[in-house]
Structure 1
Amino acid sequence: MGPVRGLKKRKRAEKNAAARVTAAAPGSGDWWDDFSRRITGHLSKESRKFESIFKISRKTFNYICSLVRDDLMARTSNFAFTDGKTLSLEDQVTWRFVEAMEERGIHHLKWPTSPEMEDIKSKFEEIQGLPNCCGAIDTTHIMMCLPSVDATNKVWVDYEKKHSMVLQAVVDPDLRFRDIITGWPGSMNEVPVLQSSGFFKMCEKGTRLNGEKVELPEKLEVREYIIGDSGFPLLPWLLTPYQGKDLSDAKIEFNKRLSGTRMVAQRALARLKGMWKIIQGEMWRPDKHRLPRIIYVCCLLHNIAIDLEDEVRDVMPLSDEHDTSYKQQFCDIADGNGSTLRDKLSRYLSGRLPP
């Protein structure tokens, strides 16, 4: 069989692209100057220009590069789409970065150690007075533009009639992700997503949120727990707001404090979407098998910016909105032990202790 038409031309283009990637790699002194010139048409040495594009400081960027440099400089792998089509050189670089971050950056997203958890509890209590609180949980939707003519895409249609993938996250007071699960279609609400997670299974088995109880005045004991909105079930280790009308003053006060505390989860998800353009808005027909890994790496990068105390995040606007067009969902599942714990905290926070 004769040579495929255009093969030499494509190989030459890929070779030139590889040379550009190497030349622009971290460690070559003028990589940012070259990149800046290509995207703006002129040379810009302003550090703010770098930060406005990458949403992180050079310090954080250099650290991320140090994590993945060896893997990215290795021989190109033969990545392919699910249909067997080989990825372009640029896409292969992207996926080598994703794989390298999954391996090298995994320590930036983990459940807290015991000493870390004590600091987390203290910070949560400082926010609105909730004692022994270990995290705030929330979900967000990563929007996708999928062809509606494909019947298999119906499972991705959520309750707002949009195609989306769900991301569930447990967040600490510094907006750091401590546990995430993603990949489930938008047609699933908070309850089945939560129940499918390893986090749920560990909490139900008693291998997570199993630290020491806190003894409050009048021998009122409170176990470890996390908090969520009304879309989540009320469980012995997951507290949600009181629902209904004509609530007592104590219950209203509890709801206010819960809402003020769980803002950290809303802000973390809003900042995640604000920082990484790849998960902003609607993604055009993404590979749904690869998208969860992209989301995970975005969460890793989010945490790295926090761990390195990146000053750029301090100048970014702090928003509470991450699913602006989504209405609040309500769950009527309530465990008796969860109700008891919530009532105890409600009385404690309102100053009315049990007899």
Structure 2
Amino acid sequence: MAPLRGNKKKRKVENNEEEEEDNSMVSGSSPEDGSAKWWDALSKKIAGNPDDFKSTFNMSRKTFDYICSLVKDHMTAKTHFAFINGKPMSLHDQVALALRRLGTGNSLISIGESFGTHHSTVSQVTWRFVEAIEQSGTHHIQWPTTNQELTEIKRKFEKIRGLPNCCGAIDTTHITMLLTSSDREADSWVDRKGAHSMVLQAVVDPDLRFRDIVTGWPGKMTDSSVLENSTFFQLCQNGERLKKSEQDEEEKITEYIIGDYGFPLLPWLITPYQGKQLTETKTEFNQRVIATHLVAEKALTRLKEGWRMIRGDMWRPDKHKLPRFIFVCCILHNIVIDMSEEGDDDDVGGLTCSVDHDPGYRQEVCEAVDKNGSLLRDELCAYFSGR
């Protein structure tokens, strides 16, 4: 849709207040009553539960307004968009449209029909929103920057099942795609399940927040291969990310993250013991690791539940843009957590619930074992046995 310019015609007195409200929304500075009127008008159009803001956008009004403030400069600096009836889209309208597209995964056509705009406008607004979040929201995904922050993460991990010095949990999930035979690159994206997919690797903290992500690799790659091709791997191997710290006067336990059987056992990545004939001590240790690792599984489940555009089979996506869509969904996932207030029902509780963010994909098994990683795991195991 072509850009719309400001209307310079004289306005009727009775319409003056309404049009000034529209202009204030475009600038992102609408007052509370104007914002409420905007929601009342939009809720009559869109599907879902029109009376409940949080069920419509999977976030509070406070979080929505914060996101608007993040993207305001980028989304109002260039082209302005309009509804089919010619009315300009406010900043709120554009953000709402993009969030519905990312949050529901509904088609461009169905989103456009519910908002009263053309499907091409839905596509353009959503991409503008993705660019804006990339530009202004990347600080919501970062490794802990202070000792105090990292200490708090360790404390929360230890509170789950007692693992000391744990700094994160790592897991992967597949973003599935529907590609046609006419796509020359289709075969490159066939994974071990026979589907087309792109893999997402995430390191998660105990609050289900993503601390490091890697995406863009074909789904046929193993978990260990994706890890070894990541910057996170290089930083950890070089000792720039996870360091040694004292557990008590007699022993030292390095900082580490935990993974499942699909990852290699490394000096900074602890995985469960493999084998059927395990001692009682090793079995108990495995249970601690698996229970703690649930934070990563739950985070990825929540990501796909909250941002359903990346949950189902995506119809012929642009594989160059898809990693950026995934990245932005991860940022939005973190923003919702960062903006949550004490008492919200979206806490970390219920880690024992059944989660499956990757249905149909069997558990990978990586047999790679680093000697120092084996020593650390044995040391941790002995820590719990009281020896």
Instruction: State TM-score, norm by structure 2.
Output: 0.78
Query: In 2 relative to 1, CA 312–126 (structure 1 residues): closer, same or farther, beyond 3 Å?
Result: closer
Aligned to 2:208: 175
Partner of 2:359 in structure 1?
Answer: 324
Corresponding position: 1:33 with 2:40: yes
| Alignment match, 2:114 | none
Which residue is equivalent to 2:385? Answer: 350
| TM-score under structure 1 length normalisation | 0.85
Match of 1:123 among 156, 161, 171: 156
CA pair 123-314 structure 1, distance change in 2 beyond 3 A: closer
Counterpart of 2:373? 338
Q: Give the distance between the partners of 1:15 and 1:314, measured in 2 at CA.
A: 43
- CA shift at 1:104, angstroms? 1.0
TM-aligned CA distance change 1:160 to 1:22, over 3 Å? farther
For the 8 Å contact 1:24–1:32, the answer to whether it is kept is no
Q: Tell me, what secondary structure is at the counterpart of 1:137? A: strand
Matched residue, 2:301: 270
- The alignment partner of 2:240 has SS state of coil
Aligned to 1:304: 335
Secondary structure in 2 aligned to 1:233?
coil
In 2, the alpha carbon distance for the partners of 1:155 and 1:213 equals 46
Partner of 1:83: none
User: 2:317 aligns to what SS in structure 1?
Assistant: coil
Q: Call closer, same or farther: CA 1:35–1:347 in 2, change over 3 Å.
A: same
CA RMSD of aligned residues (A): 2.6
Contact 1:130–1:257 (8 Å) recurs in 2:
yes
Q: Which among 68, 76, 87 is matched to residue 71 of structure 2?
A: 68
Which position in structure 2 is the counterpart of 1:135?
A: 168
Shift in Å at residue 300 of structure 1?
Answer: 0.7
Whether the 8 Å contact between 1:305 and 1:313 is mirrored in structure 2 is no
Residue of structure 2 in register with 1:84 after alignment: none
SS at match of 1:215: coil
Would the aligned equivalents of 1:220 and 1:344 in 2 still touch at CA under 8 Å? no
Pair 1:150-2:176 in alignment:
no
Distance 1:187 1:22 in 2: 49
* 2:324 is the counterpart of 1:293: yes
CA distance in 1, matches of 2:244, 2:38: 49
- In structure 2, stretches of 5+ residues that fail to align are 8-18, 81-118
Does 1:210 pair with 2:217?
no
Q: Secondary structure at the match of 1:288?
A: coil
Of 142-151 and 115-124, the range deviating more from structure 2: 142-151
Alignment partners' CA distance in 2, 1:90 and 1:257: 46
2:105 counterpart of 1:102: no
Q: In 2, distance between residues paired with 1:197 and 1:315?
A: 27
Where in structure 1 are there 5+ consecutive unaligned residues? 1-9, 78-86
* Structure 1 residue 190: Cα displacement: 0.5
After superposition, the C-alpha distances for 1:48-68 in whole angstroms (9 at most, x for unaligned) are x21111111111111111111
Aligned amino acid, residue 347 of structure 1: A
Residues 328 and 315 of structure 1: CA distance in aligned 2, closer, same or farther (over 3 Å): closer
The Cα shift of 1:312 comes to 6.2
Alignment-mate amino acid for residue 58 of structure 2:
K
Structure 1 residue 213, shift from structure 2 partner: 3.3
Contact 2:192 / 2:220 at 8 angstroms: preserved in 1? yes
Shift of 1:320: 2.1
Q: Which amino acid aligns with 1:341?
A: L
Q: Give the corresponding residue for 2:222.
A: 189
State the one-letter code of the partner of 1:168. Answer: Q
**Does the Cα contact within 8 Å between 1:209 and 1:224 map onto a contact in 2?**
yes
The reply to whether residue 53 of structure 1 matches residue 56 of structure 2 is: yes
Alpha-carbon separation, structure 2, partners of 1:69 and 1:315: 31
Partner of 2:112: none
CA 1:23–1:161 in 2, change beyond 3 Å: closer, same or farther? Answer: farther
- Which of 119, 124, 131 in structure 2 is aligned with 1:92? 124
Match of 1:75, as an amino acid?
A: K
Structure 2 partner of 1:160: 193
- Residue identity over aligned pairs, in percent, reads 55
CA distance in 2, matches of 1:304, 1:37: 27
Amino acid in the other structure paired with 1:343: D
Judge conservation of contact 1:124–1:261 (CA < 8 Å) in 2.
Answer: yes
Distance 2:286 2:348 in 1: 30
Deviations 1:22-57 (A, max 9, x none): 79756353221222111249x95x3xx211111111
Post-superposition offset of 1:149:
4.5
Q: C-alpha separation between the residues in 2 aligned to 1:334 and 1:59?
A: 47
How far apart are 1:319 and its partner, in Å?
5.3
- The DSSP-based 3-state class of the residue aligned with 1:161 is coil
Query: Offset at 1:88?
Result: 3.8
Shift of 1:71: 1.2
Deviation at 1:168?
0.3
1:253 paired to 2:284: yes
Aligned length, in residue pairs: 324
1:308 Cα offset (Å)? 1.0
SS of residue matched to 1:313:
coil
> Shift in Å at residue 90 of structure 1?
3.1
- What is the distance in 1 between the residues matched to 2:25 and 2:308? 22
Residue 253 of structure 1 contacts residue 350 of structure 1 at CA under 8 Å; is this kept in 2?
no
